[in-house]
Amino acid sequence: MKILAIGDPHGSLDKIKKIPAKKADLILLTGDIGKADLMRRMAFENIERRKKGMPEKEYSHLQQKKAFLQAYNSSVRIVKHLSKFAPVYIVFGNVETSNSETKKLSKKIKIRLPMLEKNLKKMKNVSIINNKFINFSGLRIGGLKYFIDTSWVKEFKPEDLEERMKDARKETKEAKRVLNRFGKIDILLCHQPPYGILDKVTFKGAPKHWQGKHAGSKVILDYIKRQQPAYVFCGHIHEQAGRDRISVTEVYNLGVAGYKVITIN
Query: What are 122-154's pLDDT values in tens digits?
Result: 999 999 999 999 999 999 999 999 999 999 999
Backbone angles phi, psi at 263, to 5 degrees: -115, 125
Q: Are strands 249-253 and 259-263 parallel, antiparallel or unpaired?
A: unpaired
Question: Strand 88-90 relative to strand 249-253: parallel, antiparallel, unpaired?
Answer: unpaired
Q: Give the mean pLDDT of 162-168.
A: 94
- Look at the chain and report how many structural domains it folds into: 1
- Binned at pLDDT 50, 70 and 90, residue 232 comes out as very high
Average pLDDT rounded to a whole number, residues 94-106: 94
| Residue 77 reports pLDDT greater than 80 | yes
For residue 82, what pLDDT band results from cuts at 50, 70 and 90?
Answer: very high
Q: Residue range 219-228: average pLDDT?
A: 98
Q: Find the CATH number of the domain harbouring 106.
A: 3.60.21.10
User: 153 to each of 157, 163, 165, how far by Cα in Å?
Assistant: 5, 10, 6
- Print the domain residue range for 138: 2-263
pLDDT above 80: residue 170 = yes
CA distance 265 to 3: 11
pLDDT tens digit string along 60-75?
Answer: 999 999 999 999 999 9
